[in-house]
Chains A and B, each alone.
Chain A
Amino acid sequence: MSTISAPLADSRIMLRRNLKHILRNPVTLFNAALMPVVLMLLLVYVFGNAFNVGEHYVEYATPGLILLAITYGLSGTAVSVNSDMTKGIINRFKVMNVSRGAVLTGHVGATMLSSSVAIAVIIGMAFALGFRSPATPLDWLGAIGIAAAAAFAAAWLTVALGMAAKTPESAGLTVVPLLLLPFVSSAIVPADKMGQGVRQFAEYQPFTPIIESLRGLLAGTPSAGYAAAALSWCAAITLAGYLWSRATFSKRA
Chain B
Amino acid sequence: MTSSAIAVSGLRKAYGDKTVLDGVDLEVEQGSVFGLLGPNGAGKTTTVNVLTTLIKADGGTVRVAGHDVGAEARAVRAVIGVTGQFAAVDELLTGQENLQLMADLHHLRAAESKQVIGSLLDRFDLAGSAGKLAGTYSGGMRRKLDLAMTLVTRPQIIFLDEPTAGLDPRSRRTMWDIVRDLMAEGVTVFLTTQYLEEADQLAGRIAVLDQGHLVAEGTPGELKRQVPGSHVQLRFTDVVALDAAARVLNGSTADDAALTLRVPSDGGVKSLRALLGQLDEHSIDVEEFSVHTPDLDDVFLALTGHASTKETAQ
Contact = CB atoms under 8 A, between A and B. Distances in A.
A145 B87 CA distance: 42
B88 A89 contact: yes
A49 interface: no
A95 B105 contact: no
Given A88-B84, A91-B54, A21 B92 contact: yes
B93 A93 contact: no
Interface stretch (B72-80, B121-129, B194-202, B270-278): B72-80
A13 B86 contact: no
Nearest to B104: A13
Interface stretch (A1-9, A37-45, A66-74): A1-9
Given A91-B84, A95-B77, A97-B74, A13 B101 contact: yes
A69 B309 CA distance: 53
Contacts of B81: 95
Given A95-B54, A97-B77, A87 B93 contact: no
A9 to B, nearest CB: 7
Nearest to B149: A92
A17 interface: yes
Of A88, A93, A95, the most chain B CB neighbours within 10 A belong to A95
A98 B105 contact: yes
B105 A1 contact: no
Interface string B27-69: 0000000000000000000000100111100000000000000
A17 B93 contact: yes
Contacts of A24: 92-93, 133
A139 interface: no
Contact of B82 (A2, A5, A87, A92): A92
B108 interface: yes
A20 interface: yes
A75 B284 CA distance: 79
Nearest to A89: B88
B91 to A, nearest CB: 8
Contacts of A92: 82, 84, 88, 149-150
Q: Chain B binding site: helix, strand, loop or mixed by DSSP?
A: loop
Nearest to B74: A97
A144 B107 CA distance: 35
Given A88-B84, A91-B54, A91-B82, A96 B92 contact: no
A94 interface: yes
Interface in A1-50: 1-3, 5-6, 9-10, 13, 17, 20-21, 24-25
B90 interface: yes
Contacts of A13: 101, 104-105
A13 to B, nearest CB: 5
Nearest to A22: B92
B298 interface: no
B80 A25 contact: no
B153 interface: yes
B97 interface: yes
Contacts of B106: 1, 96
B89 interface: yes
Contacts of A128: none
Contact of B105 (A25, A91, A96): A96
B54 A9 contact: no
A88 B146 CA distance: 11
A94 B77 CA distance: 9
Given A95-B54, A96-B153, A253-B49, A5 B107 contact: yes
Given A13-B101, A93-B105, A97-B77, 8 more contacts: A13-B104, A87-B88, A88-B85, A88-B86, A91-B54, A95-B80, A96-B77, A253-B54
Interface of B: 49, 52-55, 74, 77-78, 80-82, 84-93, 97, 101-102, 104-108, 133, 149-150, 153
8 contacts: A3-B78, A10-B105, A20-B97, A87-B91, A96-B77, A96-B105, A96-B106, A253-B55
